Amino acid sequence: MIKAGAQRIAAELGMILVSSDTSPRGLAFPSESDHRDLGVGAGFYLDATKEPWAKHYRMGSYINLELPTYIEKHFPACNKYRGIFGHSMGGHGALVTALRNPDRWHSVSAFAPICNPSQVPWGEKAFTNYLGDNQLHWQDWDASLLLAKSAYPGDILIDQGLDDEFLQRELRPDALEKAAVTSHRKLNLRRHLGYGHDYYFIQSFIDDHLQHHARQLQRSVKACVGR
């Protein structure tokens, strides 16, 4: 939210930026803080169904419903049209949220997202803990599997650094690209030499992403001018 330097262009475009947490806080579950890819550092923006996570680790519903409802109630935001974007695990969350709820999210983009979590170590660990061993349940939270059968109407923008240390092992943008071809969806996947998985990468292209959202939401913004 701070290091990306997004506020200036967002202000120029008349956009409200809302940055969410990655998980619930203060639950003191055993081992909740032991790993950076599970628990307080990595809720994976899904609704957990396996104990002890099931009651509180419901970041999917929080991002899709609870947080937007709060923002739209207390701030001068249009309550009909929304965009969503994120980085890495947050990119996974943005894609999954939009693809699962196309009527609520009218623009989406991501930086170096985890595109096929059911097939990579980060996702396999999170899904097993949060959703259980039945991999059929994982499909509802995998962006590539969702996109392959999606009717999402908007353009999807993805930026990926080719020097990203997690590219082949964890991110798998090729899987998302194949899914877009299968479903005939509009995916703009941009690959960049010399960029990694860091804030400098995000800083370099954050303006493009906000402009992308502004274009996608243009009709929606005009409909809300009177607010």
Active-site residue 197, yes or no? yes
Q: Residue 84 in contact with residue 102, Cβ under 8 Å?
A: no
Catalytic residue chosen out of the listed positions 87, 164, 212, 213: 164
The percent of the chain in helix, strand and coil, each rounded to the nearest 5, is: 45, 10, 45
Residue of 87, 92, 197, 209 marked catalytic? 197
Active site residue 155: no
Catalytic residue among 88, 109, 118, 150: 88
**150 tagged catalytic:** no
- How far apart are the C-alpha atoms of 20 and 113, rounded to whole Å? 16
Q: Say how far apart CA 141 and CA 167 lie, in whole Å.
A: 19
Cα dihedral sign, 197-202-204-210: positive
Those residues with Cβ within 8 angstroms of residue 150's Cβ, 6 or more apart along the chain or in another chain: 99, 102, 183, 185
Question: Cβ-count burial of 221 within 10 angstroms (0-12 exposed, 13-18 middle, 19+ buried)?
Answer: middle
Catalytic residues, by residue number, are 88, 164, 197
